[in-house]
Amino acid sequence: MAERTYPGVCLVDGTETTKRKAKNDIKKCLTKERGQDQDATSWLVQFQGKYRPGYWIVLLIRKDVTLKAIDSKLRYLWLECCGHLSQFTIYGHTFQSNPDRNYGDNEEGMNVSVDSLFRVGLSGEHLYDFGDSTYLTFKVLDFLPFAPKERNGIELVAQNHPPDIRCSSCGAPADIICLECFYEGDSEKAFLCEGCHQEHECDEDMTLPVVNSPRMGQCGYEG
């Protein structure tokens, strides 16, 4: 079977890359554009939609930020709709955004430095919203001598191009998801352009926009 390449862009210098090549491309770009800084150390971490692997990002994460800071960044970039709970799973431990001590002592909060958790090659999961859940997986790709440019210590350094989603009716780029079709298993028919949506027979208020996120079409997520 042909491997999908999942194209995207390296945001350090704006050049094309793919999910698979991103790690090496980003390292080359950072070395060329910024030069190595032996006093700085950051994790290079790739996140993707667990069930929607075409959505991927790579973050440069300062060595000692907290899981909470990464959770905020993921919400900002990809996930936030109505302030749902979220959770990381790492080495079988769960770290919740709002831990409730009454549910046993397995759940730690997210005020934990990644310095004590991450190592190169580590993989884990992130879940946003225990109702209409969006599942992400992540992998620590590398540990590098560069500092993130963002003040919160987390910089988005690569992202997938929006997948080419077409109107099921006319083949133009799709802008709208009909949620009635989407949740009634007719997901083939759910993606529509503005024009065809006006002719579409379902409830016209039951829609969400097509957005570049693994949370597309879930809860009230509008990007």
**Which one of 66, 94, 133, 169 is in contact with Zn ion (CB under 5 A)?**
169
Beta strand ranges found along 129-214 (DSSP E): 134-144, 154-160, 176-178, 191-192, 207-209
Give phi and psi for 146, each to the nearest 5: -140, 155
Residues 17-56 interacting with Zn ion (rule: CB under 5 A)? none
Find the shortest distance in angstroms from Cβ 149 to Zn ion: 30
**Which one of 60, 193, 210, 216 is in contact with Zn ion (CB under 5 A)?**
193
Find the shortest distance in angstroms from Cβ 136 to Zn ion: 16
Token pair 């070395």 is found at: 31
Instruction: Specify the stretch interacting with Zn ion by CB under 5 A; choose among 90-98, 119-127, 145-153, 168-176.
Output: 168-176
Contacts of 13 (CB under 8 A, 6+ apart): 29, 32, 33
Between 140 and 178, CB nearer to Zn ion: 178
Rule CB under 5 A: say whether 176 interacts with Zn ion: no
Q: How far apart are CA 131 and CA 128, in angstroms?
A: 9
Rule CB under 5 A: say whether 178 interacts with Zn ion: yes
The 8 Å CB, 24+ separation contacts for 71-76 are 71/97, 71/110, 71/126, 72/152, 73/152, 73/154, 73/156, 74/47, 74/126, 74/128, 74/136, 75/128
Residues 128-167 interacting with Zn ion (rule: CB under 5 A)? 167
Instruction: Specify the stretch interacting with Zn ion by CB under 5 A; choose among 33-41, 99-107, 118-126, 188-196.
Output: 188-196
**Which one of 2, 35, 38, 82 is in contact with Zn ion (CB under 5 A)?**
82
Rule CB under 5 A: say whether 127 interacts with Zn ion: no
Q: How far apart are CA 68 and CA 24, in angstroms?
A: 27
Between 40 and 165, CB nearer to Zn ion: 165
Find the shortest distance in angstroms from Cβ 10 to Zn ion: 31
Q: How far apart are CA 183 and CA 179, in angstroms?
A: 6
Between 150 and 180, CB nearer to Zn ion: 180
**Which one of 202, 208, 210, 216 is in contact with Zn ion (CB under 5 A)?**
202
Both tokens of residue 192?
A: 């529509």
**Which one of 170, 204, 209, 223 is in contact with Zn ion (CB under 5 A)?**
170
Both tokens of residue 91?
A: 């080495």
Contacting positions for Zn ion (CB under 5 A): 81-82, 167, 169-170, 172, 178, 180-181, 193, 196, 202, 219-220
